[in-house]
């Protein structure tokens, strides 16, 4: 079971979403990565048909809670359908952060 996510902070200057979990792991995920890895039906269909979701130059423009274990991210390109479960954010942190930092 993934530890509880305790902090989500959007850092526009760095273009990252800063995350912290109850087990003291911290990570920063680039906005472009989050846009490219969006799991909404439209983005999944685009990838299945051989297309690619572009994250180039895209920033997170909003973060809204979505139930007790997820957030909905809105992006500067107008896309706002992606639901990001906390478990998925942790997987991304472990995959794209060489050594997630401990607090």
Contacts of 72 (CB under 8 A, 6+ apart): 63, 64, 65, 66, 80, 81, 82, 83, 84
Quote the pLDDT of residue 34: 97
Interatomic CA distance for residues 4 and 86, integer angstroms:
8
Give per-10-residue mean pLDDT for the chain (103 aa). Answer: 90 95 94 96 95 93 95 96 95 80 56
Output phi, psi for 5, to 5 deg.
Answer: -75, 125
Which domains occur in the chain, in start order?
A: 5-102 (3.30.2020.30)
Interatomic CA distance for residues 63 and 44, integer angstroms:
21
Quote the pLDDT of residue 1: 75
């Amino acid at each position: 079971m993934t530890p509880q996510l305790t902090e989500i902070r959007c850092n526009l200057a760095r273009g990252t979403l800063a995350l912290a979990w109850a087990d003291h792991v911290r990570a920063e995920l680039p906005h472009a990565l989050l846009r490219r890895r969006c799991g909404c039906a439209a983005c999944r269909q685009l990838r299945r048909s051989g297309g690619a979701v572009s994250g180039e130059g895209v920033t997170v423009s909003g973060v809204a809670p979505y139930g007790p274990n997820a957030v909905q991210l809105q992006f500067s390109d107008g896309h706002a359908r992606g639901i990001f479960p906390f478990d998925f954010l942790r997987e991304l942190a472990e995959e794209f952060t060489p050594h997630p930092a401990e607090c």
